[in-house]
Amino acid sequence: MRKRWAARPVPCLHLSSVSELHGLPGSLALMLARRGYSGKMLEDFLHPDIQDLSSWKNLGGITEAAERIVRAVVNSEKILIHGDFDADGITATAVVYKALSELGADISYYVPDRFIEGYGIGSSSVQFCDENGIDLLITVDCGITANEHINALNSINVDTVITDHHQAGDQLPLAKAIVNPALDGDVRHSTLAGVGVAWMVMNGVFELMNADASFLQELLQLVAIGTVTDVVDLNDDNRILVSEGLKIMRRKPLPGISALAKSASVDLESSNSSHLAYYIGPRLNACGRVGHAKQAVALLLAVDESEAGELLPPVEENNRIRKQYERNVEKEVKGLTAELKDPRCIVLAGEGWHRGVVGIVASRLVSRFGVPVILISLEDDYGYGSARSIPGISIHSLLGQIQDEHKILSSFGGHPMAAGLRISGDHVQLLKEHLETLMSDKKWDEYLGSVLYLDGSLEEKDYTIETVRALSRLEPFGSGNSMPVWLARGAYAIQWRAVGKSRNHLSCDLKIGTSIFRAIGFNMVEKQSLFSSRVDLAFTLEADTWRNDGSIQLMLKDIRRTGKQNS
C-alpha cells in the first residue's frame, strides 16, 4: 500500500537562537522546532539527566507497596516475583529479583508458560504459591485484571503487591497494594513500561531500608531494554531511564546482556536504542514466544561470563525458531491481504499460525496499511489473538466496547496500542464484523492510513558524518521520539542492484544536488523501476558501518517519482 507523506507542523520559533545555543546544524534545529521543542523543554530533551527523574513517591500506591515488601524482607517471608513472558516482563522480573536479592530477601520468581498457562496470574500460579509456602507475591508487568486469582491467593493467606502498567478492568483486585501509572494520570509517569514501574518500586524499598541505591543504577540497563522493547513513548521519565541505562550498559554491562550483544554482533560501547529494539529485545522476547521466558530471565541473572555463555544457546535457538515461524505466518498473511483495498481494519485468522509470533506480523500489517489489525491463531476450538493499533485509536477500548455489547471474548487485556485476546473459533467472524462496524464511524478518518512523517530537508552541506554525530544527541530514538526522516527532491540513481540472500533489498548510489551518496532500501527492490527518471526520497541518515570509513549512507524509507502527488 502506498504511504502518504506528511510534513510536521511549521515551526513558530526563532531558529537561529536554537541552533547557536546548542551547536546544532540548522536542519536539526528546524526539525526540533517542528517537534515542539524550545526553551527548557529543549534543554531537558538534549541533556536527559537522572537527577531530573520524577520521585518514586509520585506514583500512586507505591508507599504502601514498598512498606509491604520491606516488611517481607525484614521478617524473612517467602517472596515470589510473578512476571510476564515478554521482554518487559522478563527484564522487570530480573530487576526485582536482583534488587531484593541484594537486600538478602528469601526470593524466587515465576513466569507462566504462554501456551499452557497463558498471560498473567492463573490457577497454576495460585497452586505454586500454595505448594511452596509463599507469603508475598509481587507481580511485575501483570496482575491488574487478575481479580479472581488474587481473591484465591487471599483465601490461602498470600498477600499480593501488584506492579503493572496495563489497562485496569471495571474493578480493581483486592491486593495489599497496587502500583499502576495507568490509574494515576501523572503525565511523566503515565507511559512507564512494566519494568519502569518495578524499578520505581525498588527505589522505594531501598530508601525505606536505608540501602545503597547505587546498586539500582546498575539495573537501569535492564530498564532500558524493557522500555524500548515494549514500544512505550520515550519522553519525560522514560527518556531519562533509557538514556541512563544505555550509558551504564556501554560501561559495565551485565554478563547476560554482554553475551546477547556478542551473539548479535552488537558493540555495546557504541550501542543505542536501535540495538535494543532490533537485536537484544527480540532475543529475549523469542523465549516467551516459542520457548519459555524463564530461559531469558536466567540469562539476565547470570553472575559471570561463564554462566552466561552456558545459558545463551537456548535463547539463540529460540530466536532462530521464532524467525522461521514468523516467515511462515507472514507468507500466508501476505497472500490473504494481497487484494485488500483501503481497509479500515483487518481481522485475520489461520490454523497453524504460531501464536507466539502473530503479534509481530500484526505490527507489520499496521505499518503497511495504517489501520488496527487483529491476527488470530486457531488451535482446536479456540483462537488466540494479538491486536495492534495506530495512534489515536485505542484497540483496547474497541475490544472493551465489543465485549460489553456482545460478550464474545473469553478474555482480553493490554494497552491502547496493543492487546491480547482469547476467543471461541465460532466467534471470530463476529469479532471481525463488530470491529468493522465500529471502525466504519467517520470519526476515525483522520487517523487512518499509512503515513510517513517527514521532518524536512537537509542542506547539501549537512550530508556528513558530523550531522550523524549531532543526531546522536537526540537519542534514544523510539516511540514518541522517532528518528528524523528527511526529504530529498529530484534525486537520480547512478547505479543500483538487488542485494541480500533473497535479493529483496535495494542498494544504490544516488545523486542529490552535486554529490553522490550510497543508499540502502530494505525490502524495496521493486522500487528500482522508478529509477528511469528523477525521484523524491524519504530517508534517515546514518554512518556507513559497512565501509566504516567515516562516510554516511541513506536508509531509504520510501521512493516516489518526482512530481507525483503525495496523498
3-class SS letters over 122-177: CHHHHHHHHHCCCCEEEEECCCCCCHHHHHHHHHCCCEEEEECCCCCCCCCCCCCE
Amino acid identity, residue 183? L
Asked whether residue 414 carries a pLDDT value surpassing 50, the answer given is yes
Could you give the CA distance from residue 489 to residue 66 in angstroms, rounded to a whole number?
56
Instruction: Quote the radius of gyration of the chain (alpha carbons, Å).
Output: 24
The whole-angstrom separation of Cα 479 and Cα 191 is 11
pLDDT tens per residue across span 114-127: 888 888 899 999 99
CATH number for domain 55-240, candidates 3.90.950.10, 3.90.1640.30, 3.40.50.300, 3.40.50.920:
3.90.1640.30
What are the extents of the domains in the chain?
A: 55-240, 340-447, 452-567
What is the percent of the chain where pLDDT is above 70? Answer: 96
**What is the CATH topology of the domain spanning 340-447?**
Diaminopimelate Epimerase; Chain A, domain 1 (3.10.310)
* Predicted local confidence at residue 33, as pLDDT: 83
Strands 515-521 and 159-163: unpaired
Query: What is the phi/psi pair of residue 192, to 5°?
Result: -55, 140
pLDDT in tens, 269-298: 999 999 999 999 999 999 999 999 999 999
Q: Are 288 and 85 in contact (CB under 8 A)?
A: yes
Band of pLDDT at residue 245, cut at 50, 70 and 90:
very high
Gap between the Cα atoms of 376 and 55, Å rounded: 41
Is residue 94 over pLDDT 70? yes
Least confident of 10-19, 49-58, 90-99, 134-143: 10-19
Cα dist from 525 to 224, 496, 499, whole Å: 34, 10, 8
**Greater pLDDT, 185 or 423:** 423
* Least confident window among 30-44, 117-131, 197-211, 278-292: 30-44
pLDDT for residue 262 is more than 90 = yes
113: confidence class by pLDDT, cuts 50, 70, 90? very high
- Report whether pLDDT(228) > 70: yes
Q: What pLDDT sits at residue 35?
A: 85
Q: In the prediction, which pLDDT does 13 show?
A: 55
| pLDDT of res. 544 | 87
Percentage above 90 pLDDT, the chain: 80
Say what the pLDDT of residue 567 is. 40
* 251-266: average pLDDT: 97
CA 154 to chain centre: 33
Query: pLDDT tens for residues 67-80?
Result: 999 999 999 999 99
Q: What pLDDT, on a 0 to 100 scale, did the predictor assign at position 187? A: 60
CA distances from 218 to 8, 145, 359 (A): 37, 31, 31
Q: In this predicted model, what pLDDT tens digit does every residue of 435-457 receive, in sequence order?
A: 999 999 999 998 998 888 899 99
Please say if the pLDDT value at position 257 is more than 70: yes
- DSSP one-letter code for 440: T
Strand ranges in 341-437 using DSSP code E only, listed in sequence order? 346-351, 373-379, 382-388, 409-414, 418-424
- Mention every residue, 6+ apart, whose C-beta is less than 8 A from residue 156: 126, 129, 130
Rounded-to-integer distance, Cα 169 and Cα 151, Å:
15
Average pLDDT score, the chain: 92
Residue from 538, 504, 542, 539 nearest 524 by CA: 504
CATH number of 452-567: 2.40.50.460
Report, as an integer, the average pLDDT of 358-374: 94
pLDDT at 16: 56
Query: Which pLDDT belongs to residue 10?
Result: 58
CB atoms within 10 A of CB 101: 12
Residue 9's pLDDT band (boundaries 50, 70, 90)?
low
Contact 80, 108 (CB under 8 A): yes
493: exposed, middle or buried (C-beta count within 10 Å: 0-12, 13-18, 19+)?
buried
| Dihedral-angle region of residue 157 (phi above 0 means left; psi in -120 to 50 means alpha; beta otherwise) | left
